[in-house]
Chains A and B, each alone.
Chain A
Amino acid sequence: MRRLEFMGQVFHRSTNTIARVSIYGAVFLIAALGWAVYELSASPYVTDVNVAKDQPVPFSHKHHAGELGLDCRYCHTSVETSPSAGMPPTQTCMTCHSQIWVKSPMLEPVRSSYRDDKSIQWVRVNAVPDFVYFNHSIHVNKGVGCTTCHGPVADMPLTWRANTLQMSWCLDCHRNPEKYVRPRSEVFNPHYAEPANQLEIGLELVKKYKIQSLTNCSTCHR
């Protein structure tokens, strides 16, 4: 017992501070961790937003849809009728490229696909998870333009994903469709610019097209 007299305190006074800092700091640490996870999940690394993908043929929407002015539906034929917009068969490419740029080495995969009857394997740019059932035709018919979701396709030399396609992004429009809808005549216009009085026009269109704000789960999940 006597020996205790010579022993000082087990912990130095400064440990009080350390304890306080670490207790309060843990809150920030956890918050920071949460923020990091959120940032990561929303970052282009995860969402692929603004990441142009390499394709077997460096197809340029900028050239075809922007400069030449091909209609979206020339290639994506089923966009008005089916859940899927449709990817053009090689045959569609060959409608023009059997006549022009027939020698271009860049187009060799297209020609060989047509010749050998083997599909071109494009890399998917826009995708939703398998438990989401997205239907192109109803969106197009209700005045949601291609570029609203797919971004400025007419300016994309190689295609990239313009939006996260995450659920909060979907809900933003499903809750407030008036912020995004455009006249049906402009749906396939890749150069369409949002008018200054979008909300005003939007509200009118929502009424005219009988657009419902569908946010119940089975709208998309089945």
Chain B
Amino acid sequence: MQKTDSQETMTTDDNSKERIDLDALRARAKDAGPQRMWRSLEELADTEEHRAFLHNEFPNDPEKDPAGTPRREVLKWMAASAALAGLSGCTKMPEQKIVPYVRAPEEIIPGKPLFYATTFVQGGVGTGVLVESHMGRPTKIEGNPLHPGSLGATDIFAQASILDLYDPDRSQVVIHEGRISSYAAFLSAIADLRTNLAPTKGKGLRILTETITSPTLGWQIQELLKEFPEARWHQWEPCSRDNVREGTKRAFGRYMNPVYQFDKADVILSLDADFLYSSPGAVRYARDFASRRNADGTGAKMNRLYVVEQGSTTTGAMADHRLAIRASDVPDFAAALADALDVQLPGLGSGKGKTPAGVPANWIEALARDLRAHRGSCAVIAGEQQLEAVHTLAQALNVALGAAGNTVIYTDPIEASPTIGYTSIVHLNDDMDDGKVQALFILGGNPVYAAPDDLNFTRNLLKVNFRAHLGPYEDETAELCHWHVPATHYLESWGDARAYDGTISLIQPLIAPLYDGKTAHEIIAVLEGHADKTGYDLVREHWKLQKFDKGFDAFWETSLHDGVVSGSALSSVLVKIDSSLTKEESHFVLDHFPGFPFGPKADTLEVVFRPDPTIYDGQFANNGWLQETPKPITKLTWDNTAQVSPATAEKLGVANGNVVQIVIRKGGGARGIEAPVWIVPGQADNSITLHLGYGRTRAGRLGTGVGFNASTLQLGAEPWIAVESIIPVDLKVTKTGKTYPLAATQHHSMIDANGHKEELESVNAFQRELVQVGTLEEFRRNPKFAQEKTETPPKELSLYPGYEYKGYSWGMAIDLNKCNGCNACVVACQAENNIPIVGKEEVMRGREMHWLRVDTYFRGDLDAPETYFEPVPCMHCENAPCEGVCPVAATVHSPEGLNEMIYNRCVGTRYCSNNCPYKVRRFNFKLYSDFVTQSLVPLRNPNVSVRSRGVMEKCTYCVQRIQSAKIEAEKQDREVRDGEVVTACEAVCPAQAITFGNINDKQSRVSKWKASPRDYTLLPELNTRPRTSYLARLRNPNPDMPKSEKG
């Protein structure tokens, strides 16, 4: 094996101005003490840039150029605009038309939304959703409380999927060889193809899909293969669960689907698994996990989470003990842990003496003791991007620790035909290369963009005589196919899918296809010669073949209404470790890492590939909401980066935004990319994370040309980790000397943690406690630890007499112990409140419009910090500083305690946002709302104004939902019940970390949360009396653990 010379190529360049002296920072972090929270390295370094953001709301404001417009000019323009604005008041309302139905459809009441259950599918796995529909227009996705994968919540992808429906860049017509064609022409081409295929029994016909869990589609393809037995079905997608499947096969002798029940787990070990954020079932897992983070009340037992991971993830941030090691070290860690627990596997070597570097002494032993002490109530989960050996070990540990059957159940695979995607695409690829493929149907997915570069998929694809593509965009793959058929969005489709636990739910359309879209069901039917069958016919046809107790119609009606097929969850299967497998048999087809466990390595650099936290594998590249969602922990928007730890950055001699060239050589070939660096505190040293999904060339107007395509570096055989110890590669990282601007929101809306900074030495100096953290032990000893650290001035301190809130009094509480920083609330708020996106340049100026942001804080050691999240909406202060300064009373207080923002009064002085200590107000510097694109009009929530330029806006506590609940209650002559007003962020939260309600009702959930001793508010010393309060975060560390751990 070649020795990598990456160390030599790490040139140091002292010209870099932004470079931060890490040693000085480490010393500073140490001086500040272990309690000091910091938001970035720049904050610790107290750089100019950071201070600018702290003291100015918009430090990079181009309009603020002092040498620019002279004062007289400004006054002139102001006078003119005032006059014109005045005149606009005199305009006559334009004549409007009322267009009623000819025959009114049943159930639709104008002005009242309807909700329909359907299923959002990602990576093949379905999540039940309820979709809000206004007069036939879907406008908002909510979770389906009856669906086990949702329980009423969703993730960011489901929330943002509604935007894809209305995306103006969607593919709208059938394309044949680059020209607009028709579906009829496509049908006649298929008819010809069928005639040609019939004599050879379909030889040369290939179908490439992504992972399919749909029972109907699986059945259809099997039927097709009966007609054409020589045809083949391939399944591949870039972010597949191959390793999970393969790992279970090596452990149990067949493919199994592990389903975790974290609500039953007292001790959880994650082996590089971001299971709270990015696995199928993450929404449910986050709920179950959070349900065990409750320490209030007697008898409450908190779980304990150990995370061993390479990157900084949301799951790692929730860990009680986190260990950052290279991804390529995780297999050795797992083997060493298995040894410590005396778990032997026939196919795998012993990890004895091979504990990876960077694992503190006794860490594994203490962990093993804790796991053993919680036999039957612990769980081990391995990350989808980890080697299958880790999965095998994780499952073996689960069996050995009695977790199997208790906290982890194993079911039959949820896939209609479980396949190892990589093997499948390699077969297809080789056959294309050999000219064995006559006709290829790519139903979904974008392999031309995403297939690992070393496959030469594109070259081989062009050897196929008949290439057809079904997809939502005319993307990279569509461009190279003879035929492209626009795919329907799931809100326009009939279908079905299985959830993470196998539960089946139906997909029903909310709206007729906006364009001439088709589903994979219909294309397969066309191949079968049934061009007349619609998706509806096909799904019903499949389900009519099944047996039902109460008959088909009853099943159909109930399943559609509820959004789940009741009792369809796959049942738990008893497992045992298959000891008959030899090492050879149990190996992955390509047998590419014979030396496992690998043993401690020197500081070799590795490159790790991950799905992007917001645009996933690239399928959401054109989704502006997801592009602009600040990625958890890094807070980056609109780009991907090469993420490294501070120490690795130091070694490479790079700072944030410096561009590095990463070259991977394998065999004779070399592949390289240039990527800007982003330093992530807490990431494992000597490890570079690259996120997939960027660098699209035909994504649409938002996604094209954004970021770099990491998949060009991916090696098919081992797509997730490139390191010489696992696969013979030669990795080189070189500085290019270029810099690249990145839009990170980490410094935006920063609350100054040092009150009275200039008086730091004086008695007035104090450290603000913005995120309150304690250990479970501290909490038990002193439950009021959070409140004691802050001081709320007495009510009488205000000059004004207090207002007595009678009736309703709205308030919110956010439990930091549950929040895992997944951003679902941010995207849900955007969808509910018609919040526009602003684009990368404007984000760099600090002008992003999110009403709700998730602040990320670090604490402690620079190299292995603890990470904390804090969602910050408007605080709805009872003594709101913004209200007093508005010259036109555009922001005022309601008798129910809402801080109201009146757009039509706002003249845009921005005094309010200047005076907001929490920095939650957002200003429309430009016309961010798209009033022009017709396809986006029906997306809007009709109950919320679309704001125009020059208007301030902010969180309203979803006042439209409050008003509608109040009106319904008034009509029934009763009070609004607790839980009737659910804000968008509260509804979507997978962890149920947000609660909202009437604080005058002492029985309401929010009142009970606020009565918790952990309850505290932000900046209470300002006497703003916020209505939004927080419950302090608790950690549950293992007293047995060595103190010198990293993390």
Contact = CB atoms under 8 A, between A and B. Distances in A.
A124 interface: yes
Interface string A113-146: 1100111111110010111010101100110000
B308 to A, nearest CB: 47
B75 interface: no
Contacts of B944: 222
A137 B967 contact: yes
Which of B93, B944, B956, B973 has the most C-beta atoms of chain A within 10 angstroms of its own C-beta? B93
Nearest to A91: B103
B297 interface: no
Contact of A216 (B104, B109, B895): B895
Contacts of B98: 87, 121-124
Interface in A172-222: 210, 216-219, 221-222
B912 to A, nearest CB: 14
A221 B100 contact: no
A218 B110 CA distance: 22
Contacts of B894: 216-218
Contacts of B789: none
A90 interface: yes
A119 B101 contact: yes
Which of A48, A118, A137, A210 has the most C-beta atoms of chain B within 10 angstroms of its own C-beta? A137
B574 interface: no
B899 to A, nearest CB: 10
Interface string B125-155: 0000000000000000000000000000000
A63 B104 CA distance: 24
B448 interface: no
A103 to B, nearest CB: 21
B903 A221 contact: yes
A141 B944 CA distance: 24
A122 B110 CA distance: 16
Nearest to B962: A218
Contacts of B892: 216-217
B822 to A, nearest CB: 27
Contact of A114 (B102, B110, B895, B973): B102
A133 B903 contact: no
Interface stretch (A12-20, A65-73, A75-83): A75-83
Interface string B667-687: 000000000000000000000
Given A88-B100, A131-B904, A142 B956 contact: no
A217 B90 contact: no
Given A40-B90, A124-B97, A90 B112 contact: no
A90 B103 contact: yes
A48 B98 CA distance: 17
B406 to A, nearest CB: 49
Contact of A219 (B96, B104, B109, B963): B963
A141 B970 contact: yes
B93 A217 contact: no
B751 to A, nearest CB: 26
A113 B971 contact: no
A129 B100 contact: no
B945 A130 contact: yes
Nearest to B903: A131
B544 to A, nearest CB: 32
B104 A91 contact: yes
A86 B963 CA distance: 20
B960 A222 contact: yes
Contacts of A117: 102-103
B112 A82 contact: yes
B93 A91 contact: no
A20 B92 CA distance: 38
Nearest to B110: A84
Nearest to A124: B96
A201 B970 CA distance: 21
Given A41-B89, A131-B903, A216-B892, A122 B112 contact: no
Contacts of B896: 216
Interface string B897-920: 010101111000000000000000
A89 interface: yes
A45 interface: yes
Contacts of B102: 89-91, 113-114, 117-119
A46 interface: yes
Contact of B100 (A37, A114, A122, A210): A122
Interface residues of A, number: 45
Contact of A46 (B90, B109, B943, B959): B90
A41 B90 contact: yes
Nearest to A118: B102
B184 interface: no
Contact of A123 (B93, B95, B900): B95
B90 A218 contact: no
Interface string B426-449: 000000000000000000000000
A169 B95 CA distance: 21
Interface string B967-986: 10011010000000000000
B67 interface: no
Given A83-B111, A131-B945, A210 B973 contact: yes
A199 to B, nearest CB: 23
B545 interface: no
Nearest to B891: A217
A133 B963 contact: yes
Contacts of A123: 95-98
A137 B109 CA distance: 12
Contact of B111 (A45, A78, A142): A78
B99 interface: yes
Interface in A103-118: 113-114, 117-118
Contacts of B970: 138, 141-142, 210
B469 to A, nearest CB: 36
B111 A89 contact: no
A121 B97 contact: yes
A152 B956 CA distance: 38
A165 to B, nearest CB: 10
Interface string B690-731: 000000000000000000000000000000000000000000
A122 B92 contact: no
A166 B423 CA distance: 69
Contacts of A129: 93, 904
A113 B102 CA distance: 7
B890 to A, nearest CB: 9
Contacts of B90: 37, 40-41, 46
Contact of B967 (A84, A113, A119, A135): A135
B521 to A, nearest CB: 29
B99 A119 contact: yes
Nearest to B972: A141
A216 B96 contact: no
A166 B903 CA distance: 17
Contact of A218 (B92, B96, B104, B898): B898
Contacts of B97: 121-124
A210 B971 CA distance: 11
A221 B111 contact: no
Contact of B943 (A37, A45, A90, A133): A133
B902 A221 contact: yes
Interface in A22-79: 37, 40-41, 45-46, 48, 78
A222 B112 contact: no
Interface in B71-117: 89-90, 92-93, 95-104, 109-112
29 contacts: A41-B90, A48-B92, A78-B109, A78-B110, A81-B109, A86-B111, A89-B103, A113-B102, A117-B102, A118-B102, A119-B99, A119-B102, A122-B97, A122-B98, A123-B98, A124-B97, A130-B945, A133-B943, A133-B960, A135-B967, A138-B967, A142-B970, A218-B898, A218-B956, A218-B959, A221-B945, A222-B945, A222-B959, A222-B963
Given A81-B109, A222-B960, 11 more contacts: A82-B110, A89-B100, A91-B104, A127-B93, A129-B904, A130-B945, A137-B967, A138-B967, A216-B896, A219-B963, A222-B963
Shortest beta-carbon contacts, A-B, top 8: A84-B111, A87-B100, A82-B111, A83-B111, A89-B101, A124-B96, A216-B894, A84-B110
